[in-house]
Structure 1
């Protein structure tokens, strides 16, 4: 419609499909548009075009009566996973290709990513002459269904508290094909009744997770697909609240809830009860011997801490440990952002999680590790005050001064703190204790950092303020501390086909050859990556446990073709080999490292370099664009 007349070659090129497949889709389109009195014309030497008024077709597409295939790759992958999880039948690749309007090559790439995702939960994507299917236990299948819904949690799935304090879930269109909407509505009603009759107050995540599991259970019971609970689930006695909820479900749906299904409901109820108990009486919990043991454990395994960090981690870990024991975990929608923005805190959280797994015999995924990293990052920011003390000087009136203050706070609230807003005479009347002066008047004050800006703070002025802040934060010093750990012999530029473990082993061999690390460092780093991947876009940041590091160094591995990592390919590996000897400069190192990771343009330039000197020169630049 947008191009007017097009040709087979154009369509084939744009959607990556054969002439035969394109013809099939055009036949379907021709049938769909007949009610609109529009004809699809295909004329040799002329092209393909619509004959008739297409305005109604456009209106129907916008209104949802006709569906345009504008799904993103992520949406298509989720839809495929949904289909595979909710059917017991085999599905052919050709059927999926036709359904989602993607080529076989593209689809096979999506299936590879789906396979990697579900294998982390213990499921397998298998194929035979009939097609592809997911092989997984009922417990794992339900976890995947909850995880699938969690992908939409931040953007599409909305949990609302209405005026009667009942929970209402609005399921996005993408998920309506997965769940029977009548069952979903009745399950939500039952859960609201349950909350009113019981002592449990489910939080949003608990409500969502339990609702999904109940919808799956009800659909299976209706289809007479009876399941068996494994021995571990059956070993937990049913809570009174589980029995209450089961009775409500039986009353509302008109059939018995099998014992095995009650066992699955029970793990959710036990976890919710544990959470509520942990947060209802923190003072009592603190006195509890188990929490005292946890406190001692944290203090023994954290390099640095304060009482606030220990107490916050206890409040987080008490219910979390119970969830781990039951095989439940919370999806963290900010996991990737936490990895990218707080690599040092995340690295510390990985180290702590490894010790938690050893001590308490549980398994912790990277969603949970990211939550722990947030607590550690809060401690780090409490320990070191990063904001620059600032005074604003304005001579054009209080209104203009306040506007300037608001704009400065809007753009630089994380980096500076405005102590006061004064006139020139007020500034000169008392000692200046601030580190930075932002003024609308040209001032010359010796041994003080002055930035002159117009009252309305234009783009150039924001740049001047940022430059002053970078200097005050000793940005170059941070660069120096970082670059001290980088040397030419530890930079590897390679274009061979290689995977994660091979790349880590190659880097670690170089560290050992230079006598910077001990034997076993590669295996330890690989194990850490299995616990929590450091992959972020096309960059990975594996860390070595400090006991294997003789002298701190940062090794760099570049591969323009890409290294097979966990979720995809990475082109740059920063291998962080740190130990206690750089404790005093660790903040400067990671602050500079953060600046590197945030500069995607610079990182892409780094991928193209082959000269070690040019790599060092680019990494050591004080100014990132």
Structure 2
């Protein structure tokens, strides 16, 4: 770091110390910045100079103290201080304190932490309460004794959480055809820029010798793992042996181990090698393509995953199954030891593709039940992209051919089936598209995505409406099919405003109290249970869903919690308008749209249309303002109707 960089960093630290302590003194600044009083005076003069013309003043009063006065929110902008600079950003400061406590090999004194991060003891206590809540979600706890503060938990959970923090601040650039990794300066004291450079050199040599290829995420994940593990090994903190590890170490893992031991002068225990092996295997298996499912040599584990997906996803095509299987094959290694992906687009995916995210979330629960793995929101967001691609493929096919898709089940042989399909086409050529003709045994094995099923014998297919006709298709049968076609067309028309069709005045609540997230969800859940619209446990299922990924989509406005489908008796959307707000994680919501859809609604409702209308509503500041002013369910309902009527005209 240059002399000028050192000078600017000292200026920032001076500002941070004054800002976070609200009032301080020369002696405090000298002690914490470890520079002379003369230098502190020079720093204060420079800060004074840069504040000229702003709405902020630096006040220095003898026998009173040093403090800022005025619009202190301008400080970060005036001094070009990045938002993740620990002294001025609460989230950043808490992240670095957490990482510090994880990487330490002993208890840390409260006073030392307060001094290191330029905060008062009361501010640090608030930070530690927030840190305690956050790390508890990942199996860790904060221990406070006379010896100081420490984060307690097993080594694997500590490292996983440290990886999360580092990946959130990870930035990359290309310089002279070389990848350069950037982390905030405060991370340097915990990981060390030299450690980072050495780890990169080791991976470069590994790639040169073995020709192994990493995706961007795999490289980042392995590099972070190496940086953390080398520091922990040097502190004699080792990962436990992975009891499920029956896989022999790959040759690449053995080479990586040797390179690490030589570069860092450490001994890498077998347990640590097993975890390195997980990263290597994931990289080697990431080259899977749909062709890997063909031929005589087949990966049995991948076929098991494909079979699991077909059993647990209701509507799919072959491409979705292949894409998910290829994604999950190497990912299962990471899931089983708690390694999760960092996804910079998670929030955007949740906001733009809520239906796909819910489908992916449902799959993640089933993966947990079957394989005993934990899938976090970043991984779920990656899975959601596959579901979104599937939905866009099927929607495109539907839009390009707006006919009603029909599956025909015929029990009387190929000749009769052909005659029946010809007569159906002759009568309804402009209305229907016959997608397939099935025998009865095949029908019971099939997954149906068609709009209508026509059968020559009475059949009970779960969740499907079957139109039964005679094989020769007489006028009576023709009228029966025509009636069902009309019903489907009517449903499609109603789906043009399918959002309102899922609501009613009886599903609207108004609260004049400030609420916490769980209390708001429980209030809605109780209403649904009391009206026999949902089963007991519906609120708890939505709260559990929130613990995985928050459904707050506008920081100060809207949340959309989802109930698990098995708790819903009658599908619908319930709205809570909280005039004094609902604390929702780090944000606040005034409008809580509780989505409750059972499996029948998921399969038979045009969810694209529902979410399209929902997005229109929550994207309109004017509409939300009018809803906030309406003071009772009936008035809110009329505002909703009025809004969508105007949108229908404009559409």
TM-score, with length taken from structure 1? 0.70
Aligned residue among 485, 489, 492 for 2:502: 485
Aligned residue among 356, 360, 364 for 2:367: 356
Aligned residue among 612, 617, 634 for 1:591: 612
Question: What does the per-residue CA deviation read over 1:462-492, in whole Å, with 9 as the maximum and x for residues that have no partner?
Answer: xxxxxxxxxxxxxx97784212322232222
The structure-2 alpha-carbon separation of the partners of 1:574 and 1:283, relative to structure 1 and needing over 3 Å to count, comes to: same
Aligned residue among 181, 192, 202 for 1:190: 202
C-alpha displacement of 1:36 = 7.3
The equivalent residue for 1:203 is 215
Say whether 1:256 aligns with 2:267.
yes
| Deviation larger for 600-609 or 374-383 | 600-609
Aligned residue among 311, 315, 326 for 2:326: 315
Q: How many residues align?
A: 513
Q: Using the alignment, how far apart are the partners of 1:38 and 1:571 within structure 2?
A: 46
The structure-2 alpha-carbon separation of the partners of 1:260 and 1:385, relative to structure 1 and needing over 3 Å to count, comes to: closer
The equivalent residue for 2:596 is 577
SS of the residue 1:88 aligns to: coil
The structure-2 alpha-carbon separation of the partners of 1:567 and 1:285, relative to structure 1 and needing over 3 Å to count, comes to: farther
The equivalent residue for 1:158 is 172
The equivalent residue for 1:365 is 376
The structure-2 alpha-carbon separation of the partners of 1:129 and 1:564, relative to structure 1 and needing over 3 Å to count, comes to: farther
C-alpha displacement of 1:103 = 5.3
Say whether 1:550 aligns with 2:550.
no
* CA contact 1:477–1:588 (8 Å) conserved in 2: no
The structure-2 alpha-carbon separation of the partners of 1:364 and 1:161, relative to structure 1 and needing over 3 Å to count, comes to: farther
C-alpha displacement of 1:368 = 1.2
Aligned residue among 238, 245, 250 for 2:256: 245
SS of the residue 1:543 aligns to: coil
Say whether 1:274 aligns with 2:285.
yes
SS of the residue 2:631 aligns to: coil
SS of the residue 2:144 aligns to: strand
The equivalent residue for 2:231 is 219
| Deviation larger for 99-108 or 513-522 | 99-108
Aligned residue among 148, 151, 155 for 1:138: 155
* CA contact 1:490–1:554 (8 Å) conserved in 2: yes
* CA contact 2:20–2:87 (8 Å) conserved in 1: no
The structure-2 alpha-carbon separation of the partners of 1:242 and 1:499, relative to structure 1 and needing over 3 Å to count, comes to: same
Question: What does the per-residue CA deviation read over 1:219-259, in whole Å, with 9 as the maximum and x for residues that have no partner?
Answer: 34445x25352352765533222111111222333443333
* CA contact 1:187–1:214 (8 Å) conserved in 2: yes
C-alpha displacement of 1:136 = 2.2
C-alpha displacement of 1:194 = 0.8
Say whether 1:181 aligns with 2:193.
yes
Aligned residue among 298, 308, 321 for 2:309: 298
Q: Unaligned regions of 5+ residues in structure 1, if any?
A: 1-10, 51-57, 390-475
C-alpha displacement of 1:493 = 2.3
Aligned residue among 328, 334, 338 for 1:327: 338
* CA contact 1:561–1:571 (8 Å) conserved in 2: yes
The structure-2 alpha-carbon separation of the partners of 1:230 and 1:548, relative to structure 1 and needing over 3 Å to count, comes to: same
Question: What does the per-residue CA deviation read over 1:125-169, in whole Å, with 9 as the maximum and x for residues that have no partner?
Answer: 23234443211222112112211121023xxx2164965xx7543
The structure-2 alpha-carbon separation of the partners of 1:115 and 1:484, relative to structure 1 and needing over 3 Å to count, comes to: same
The structure-2 alpha-carbon separation of the partners of 1:104 and 1:590, relative to structure 1 and needing over 3 Å to count, comes to: farther
* CA contact 2:573–2:593 (8 Å) conserved in 1: yes
Aligned residue among 587, 611, 617 for 2:632: 611
Question: What does the per-residue CA deviation read over 1:376-406, in whole Å, with 9 as the maximum and x for residues that have no partner?
Answer: 11222222249999xxxxxxxxxxxxxxxxx
The equivalent residue for 1:149 is 166
* CA contact 1:508–1:522 (8 Å) conserved in 2: yes
Say whether 1:87 aligns with 2:104.
yes
C-alpha displacement of 1:188 = 1.0
- Counterparts of 1:99-110 in structure 2, within 5 Å, are 99-102=116-119, 106-110=123-127
C-alpha displacement of 1:81 = 2.3
Q: Unaligned regions of 5+ residues in structure 2, if any?
A: 1-14, 49-58, 69-75, 401-492
The structure-2 alpha-carbon separation of the partners of 1:256 and 1:618, relative to structure 1 and needing over 3 Å to count, comes to: same
Question: What does the per-residue CA deviation read over 1:426-448, in whole Å, with 9 as the maximum and x for residues that have no partner?
Answer: xxxxxxxxxxxxxxxxxxxxxxx
SS of the residue 1:363 aligns to: coil
C-alpha displacement of 1:286 = 10
Q: Using the alignment, how far apart are the partners of 1:107 and 1:478 within structure 2?
A: 53
The structure-2 alpha-carbon separation of the partners of 1:115 and 1:258, relative to structure 1 and needing over 3 Å to count, comes to: same
The equivalent residue for 1:343 is 354
Q: Using the alignment, how far apart are the partners of 1:75 and 1:501 within structure 2?
A: 26
Q: Using the alignment, how far apart are the partners of 1:86 and 1:374 within structure 2?
A: 35
Q: Using the alignment, how far apart are the partners of 2:352 and 2:298 within structure 1?
A: 35
The equivalent residue for 1:465 is none
Question: What does the per-residue CA deviation read over 1:496-521, in whole Å, with 9 as the maximum and x for residues that have no partner?
Answer: 56544443333122123223223443
The structure-2 alpha-carbon separation of the partners of 1:101 and 1:602, relative to structure 1 and needing over 3 Å to count, comes to: farther
- Counterparts of 1:436-451 in structure 2, within 5 Å, are none
TM-score, with length taken from structure 2? 0.67
SS of the residue 1:304 aligns to: coil
SS of the residue 2:595 aligns to: strand
* CA contact 1:366–1:533 (8 Å) conserved in 2: no
The equivalent residue for 2:523 is 506
The structure-2 alpha-carbon separation of the partners of 1:304 and 1:24, relative to structure 1 and needing over 3 Å to count, comes to: same
- Larger relative contact order, structure 1 or 2 (CA cutoff 8 Å, min sep 6): 1
* CA contact 1:90–1:133 (8 Å) conserved in 2: yes
Q: Using the alignment, how far apart are the partners of 1:92 and 1:603 within structure 2?
A: 48
C-alpha displacement of 1:196 = 1.3
Q: Using the alignment, how far apart are the partners of 1:22 and 1:570 within structure 2?
A: 43
SS of the residue 2:606 aligns to: helix
The structure-2 alpha-carbon separation of the partners of 1:571 and 1:99, relative to structure 1 and needing over 3 Å to count, comes to: farther
The equivalent residue for 2:390 is 379
Over the aligned positions, Cα root-mean-square deviation in angstroms equals 4.3
The structure-2 alpha-carbon separation of the partners of 1:90 and 1:607, relative to structure 1 and needing over 3 Å to count, comes to: farther
The equivalent residue for 1:463 is none
Q: Using the alignment, how far apart are the partners of 1:291 and 1:266 within structure 2?
A: 19
Q: Using the alignment, how far apart are the partners of 2:613 and 2:38 within structure 1?
A: 60
